[in-house]
Structure 1
Amino acid sequence: MVALVGSLVAFVVALLVGGLAIFASARVIVDVEDYSYATVTALLGAIAWALTSWIPLLGPILALIAWIWVINWRYPGGWGTAAAIGFIAWLAALAILFVLNTVLRLGVGAFGVPGA
């Protein structure tokens, strides 16, 4: 039971970190101010990534395209804007994780932002 609660807490924290990274990026790129919307985007992006990344040879490329598609679907702009939001979100997630893991020694990840 303790392991289940620990896993659930780790998932929620990682999802909130991923949502924060997407929120910060979307705020800069398209001036959107809804953290909960970004958190749902992180969750949907993680699902899209999980559904496509397992495909042999093309999986990682398809997963990245699927993740950017989710951002494109959820935010105004187009594919270029979605790619910019994704790239800035990735950088933001790395910065957030650096603070949480190196400075505060929490050992968390970012759910919904690939490679972070």
Structure 2
Amino acid sequence: MAAADSVLIFVLSLLVGTIGILAGARLVLDRDASVVNAAVTALIGAVAWAITSFFVGWVPILGVLLMLIIWVGVINWRYPGGWGSAVAIGFIAWIVAVAIVYAFAVVGFVTPDALGIPGV
């Protein structure tokens, strides 16, 4: 049962991350905003976040800041527009993810600690 739960959480997290990044990219860039690109970005971003978290996540303030910079760096790498656009995409993605996770929590589908975008 634990394996099935882990797979479900992974799929939901990827879906939430994809929707958030897709929304951010479409609002900020209005181009290069395909679902596949957003899903790949969400997956790479989640892996980068996890690896960075493993190595420096325990460092107060600096660890979380580095994890966030790495995550935004992945967005910057995957989408045009530079760091400013990447930060805007990430911020919008975070807001959308919070809204989705909140809606899922309200209906009792998930707990609010479901992941997909860092810090959600």
State the TM-score, normalizing by the size of structure 2.
Answer: 0.86
- How has the CA–CA distance of structure 1 residues 110 and 36 changed in structure 2, closer, same or farther, with 3 Å as cutoff? farther
Cα displacement (A) at 1:6: 2.2
- Alignment match, 1:106: 109
- Alignment match, 1:36: 36
- Alignment match, 2:71: 67
**CA distance in 2 between partners of 1:33 and 1:69 (Å):** 17
Task: Check if 1:94 corresponds to 2:84.
Answer: no
**CA distance in 2 between partners of 1:110 and 1:19 (Å):** 12
Q: Which amino acid aligns with 1:98?
A: Y
Q: Secondary structure at the match of 2:85?
A: helix
**CA distance in 2 between partners of 1:106 and 1:81 (Å):** 32
- Alignment match, 1:76: 80
Percentage identity across paired residues of the two chains: 49
- Alignment match, 1:8: 7
Cα displacement (A) at 1:77: 0.2
Q: Which amino acid aligns with 1:65?
A: I
Q: Structure 1, residues 54-108: CA drift from partner, whole Å, max 9, x if none?
A: 4124211111110010000000100010000000100010111111111x21115
Which consecutive unaligned segments of at least 5 residues does structure 2 have? none
- The number of residues matched between the two structures is 113
Which consecutive unaligned segments of at least 5 residues does structure 1 have? none
State the TM-score, normalizing by the size of structure 1.
Answer: 0.89
**CA distance in 2 between partners of 1:40 and 1:28 (Å):** 18
**CA distance in 2 between partners of 1:5 and 1:60 (Å):** 29
Cα displacement (A) at 1:30: 0.7
Task: Check if 1:50 corresponds to 2:50.
Answer: yes
Cα displacement (A) at 1:36: 1.9
Q: Secondary structure at the match of 2:115?
A: coil
Cα displacement (A) at 1:12: 0.6
Q: Secondary structure at the match of 1:33?
A: coil
Which segment is superposed worse, 53-62 or 83-92?
53-62
